[in-house]
Amino acid sequence: MKIAEAPVDNAPALPRVRFRDARIEMSHGAGGKASRRLIEGLIAPLLGGPLLAPLADAAFLEVDGARLALTADSFVVRPLRFPGGSIGELAVNGTVNDLAVSAAQPLALLLTFVIEEGIATETLEAELRAIAEAARRAGVEIVGGDTKVVEHGKADGLYVTTAGLGRADLRARLSPRSVRPGDQVLLSGPIGDHGITILLARGEIDLEADLRSDTRSVYPFVEAILGVAASGLRWMRDPTRGGVATALNELARDSGLGIVLHEEEIPVREAVRGACELLGLDPLHIANEGQFLAVVAPELAEAALAAVRAVPGGGEAVIIGEVREQPARTVLAAASYGGTRVVDMLVGDPLPRIC
């Protein structure tokens, strides 16, 4: 019997693509289940090499002995300015925060602009000033960028893309796989402020509230945790698109463990709670731009919490839950009276273009 030879083919194997949606819809950019399908089913298989970190906040690589973190995000928020911030400020803080929750010290940013023909120079100037000020506050250097202009009607005034370079903090080894039952889930402050602020700023719903985006750098809080609890720090994430629910569901899935939240401990401002009730939204699905989640070993959780609370702006940090063996790959919210509910990832896109 003759064994057939394998066909000779020097071309790289075609990667397997599992994404079956015929068209790209808004939900594919919302940060929830559809985004995950797009990234895991199409983008990562096609672009992926050994270093690609498709869902992590930053990629790590070593160059001549330096341990670097790299990340990039595009910002398409509408409107460009809103209470508490603007697209330029988001573009700096969002990228700084992706580095921060990867336990990397943010060092340098590149900013690129896709500008709509005809926008007032003062609109662009205001964003440049917001960017410069946010970078100064976050302690990062802006080292370069690029500018393109597209015709009137293409782009809503301004899209901003930010790439960030950071220095990996060798004290921390973050991974969903290092998470253990008993670990505590720390949240840095009230959730949903950013998403609901954007929603209200669009004027599409008849509701007024004294609410501001929470956009800020979370690096000072991360630095504080690293100072006292680096050895017990397992995982961090800034819950932007898709909110706390989506971030924790990704952790549950990637760790194979369950997460039980003490729902009443989760800080939600009245205005956010009210808007969510009115619209049938869950605050756990609403985007944040200045909060982060950290999973910390139980023996260091109180020290981590105290460290975050000691940093200005960290006073509302709280332990919102813990990791359990069961129910595996699931996030549960438990109420004090004993009821529990399953908290799912964001599905669809109830609040498009919030960052």
Q: Per rule CB under 8 A, is residue 19 in the interface with a second copy? A: yes
23 binds a second copy (CB under 8 A): yes
Part of the chain binding a second copy (CB under 8 A), chosen from 61-69, 273-281, 301-309, 339-347: 61-69
Number of C-beta neighbours around residue 116 at 10 A: 17
* Residues paired with 75 in a beta bridge: 160
Touching a second copy, residues 32-51 (CB under 8 A): 35, 38-39, 42-43, 46-51
Task: State which of residues 37, 40, 79, 124 lies at the interface with a second copy (CB under 8 A).
Answer: 124
**Contact with a second copy (CB under 8 A) among 70, 218, 331, 343:** 70
Nearer to a second copy, 71 or 97 (CB): 71
- Per DSSP, the residues of 175-207 read -GGG--TT-EEEE-S-SSHHHHHHHHHTT-SS-
Instruction: Give phi and psi for 108, each to the nearest 5.
Output: -145, 145
Write out the binding residues for a second copy, residues 144-183 only, by CB under 8 A.
144-151, 153-156, 159, 161, 163, 165, 167
In the bound state with a second copy, the residue whose beta carbon lies nearer, of 56 and 308, is 56
Beta-ladder partners of 260: 322, 332
Nearer to a second copy, 150 or 335 (CB): 150
Q: Is residue 75 close enough to count as binding a second copy by CB under 8 A? A: yes
Tokens of 262: 């003490």
* First CA to last CA distance, the chain: 63
Q: Which phi and psi angles does 100 have, rounded to 5°?
A: -60, -50
According to DSSP, the residues that pair with 334 across neighbouring strands are 262, 340
Q: How far apart are CA 138 and CA 194, in angstroms?
A: 19
Verify binding: residue 205, a second copy, rule CB under 8 A: no
- Residue 288 CB, shortest distance to a second copy, in Å, is 17
90 part of the interface to a second copy, by CB under 8 A: no
Rounded CA separation 279/274 (Å): 9
Q: Which of 100, 115, 218, 332 binds a second copy (CB under 8 A)?
A: 115
Residue that the structure tokens 């956010």 belong to: 272
Pick between residue 70 and residue 295 the one whose CB is nearest to a second copy. Answer: 70
Asked whether position 347 contacts a second copy by CB under 8 A, the answer is no
- Contacting residue, 1, 22, 206, 339, with a second copy by CB under 8 A: 22
C-beta closer to a second copy: residue 30 or 233? 30
Considering only residues 5, 9, 64, 204, which one is a binding residue for a second copy as defined by CB under 8 A?
64
Query: Do the beta carbons of residue 126 and residue 92 sit within 8 Å?
Result: no
Distance between CA 267 and CA 273 in Å, rounded?
A: 10
